């Protein structure tokens, strides 16, 4: 507990991962009355957190002693594993009955196993991936896909509501939130790849690109991804990265892993994955994912 600017006691929440998404989440938590103790491998991110009123806290024991709820916005399962069970890991020091909220895009089976491992240490897991990107994190308008014990979900709902405008509870079985995020990423990846192909074909045939985009956005061919990524494809501006090509290499890889485990044919996901892996192979992995259109350049 700490004193906020109004002089009242603010609940401390731990936040691991202060990247593109985590910064927006931290800002919203602070704005909505929580004290934020943050952890990140990047010293600049910790300086940023302190500049907006949060507390840098790399020591797992200190964070665990102050925070009954810890939210994770790291990149993947490897980083989640390191945060919890690596050197200076949180799982060894978190208090009994505390809650770890996993907001990263993770393999569903990993999440199921993680819930069991944490339960052995009397730590609750909320499986809680999000969608809405950097802009959604900044606006506090993320969509959150949630699975876990309902009583625990209700306990941490005020925290989730600081950055999530739409909270969907998918049941008590851990992994269902992550499975929903996998399906979400299937559609996102396919929509980006399809938008790139359509706009590249228009360019190849000499159509005016800005007009083409407006026409496609105005009718039945439109999609959220076309409206969001299309302008970047038309202007060829890929350095201001909101979501990188390699993020979709990872996420569509999770889609294909899930499809294989359930013997579910996912040909559209395979086709989109090949577009992103090709772009990454051509050195575009760290560019904005709209750069996948460059696969079609002759």
Tokens of 168: 């969907």
User: What is the dihedral sign for C-alpha 82, 85, 89, 95?
Assistant: positive
Q: Exposure string (b/e) for 274-298, b if CB count within 10 Å is 16 or more? A: ebbbebbeeebbebbbbbbbbbeee
Q: Which of 128, 67, 129 is nearest to 95 (CA)?
A: 67
CA distance 298 to 295: 8
Task: Check: CB of residue 101 under 8 Å from CB of residue 123.
Answer: no
Which residue matches tokens 């750069």?
291
Task: Give CA 102 to chain center in angstroms.
Answer: 10
Task: Check: CB of residue 1 under 8 Å from CB of residue 10.
Answer: yes
Tokens of 2: 């700490």
Instruction: Please give the positions annotated as active site.
Output: 181
Q: What is the DSSP letter of 96?
A: T
Count of C-beta atoms within a 10 Å radius of residue 183: 14
CA distance 48 to 279: 32
The Cα diameter of the chain in Å comes to 64
């Amino acid at each position: 507990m700490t004193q906020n600017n109004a002089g009242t006691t603010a609940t401390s929440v731990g936040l691991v991962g202060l990247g593109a998404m985590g910064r927006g989440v931290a800002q919203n938590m602070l704005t909505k009355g929580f004290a934020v103790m943050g952890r990140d491998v990047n010293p600049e991110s910790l300086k940023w957190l302190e500049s907006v009123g949060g507390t840098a806290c790399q020591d797992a024991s200190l964070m665990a002693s102050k925070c009954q709820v810890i939210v994770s916005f790291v990149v993947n399962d490897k980083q989640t594993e390191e945060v919890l069970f690596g050197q200076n890991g949180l799982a060894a020091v978190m208090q009994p009955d505390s809650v770890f909220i996993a907001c990263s895009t993770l393999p569903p089976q990993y999440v199921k196993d993680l819930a069991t491992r944490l339960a052995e240490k009397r730590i609750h897991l909320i499986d809680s991936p999000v969608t809405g990107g950097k802009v959604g994190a900044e606006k506090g308008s993320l969509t959150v896909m949630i699975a876990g014990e309902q009583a625990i979900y209700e306990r941490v709902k005020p925290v989730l509501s600081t950055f999530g405008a739409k909270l969907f509870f998918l049941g008590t079985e851990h992994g269902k939130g992550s499975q929903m995020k996998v399906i979400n990423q299937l559609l996102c990846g396919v929509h980006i790849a399809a938008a790139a192909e359509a706009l590249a074909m228009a360019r190849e045939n000499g159509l005016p690109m800005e007009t083409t985009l407006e026409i496609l956005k105005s009718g039945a061919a439109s999609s959220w991804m076309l409206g969001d990524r299309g302008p970047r494809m038309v202007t060829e501006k890929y350095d201001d990265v909101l979501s990188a090509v390699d993020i979709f290499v990872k996420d569509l890889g999770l889609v294909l892993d899930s499809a294989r485990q359930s013997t579910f044919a996912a040909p559209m996901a395979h086709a989109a994955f090949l577009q992103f892996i090709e772009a990454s192979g051509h050195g575009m992995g760290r560019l904005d994912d709209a750069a996948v259109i460059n696969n079609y350049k002759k």
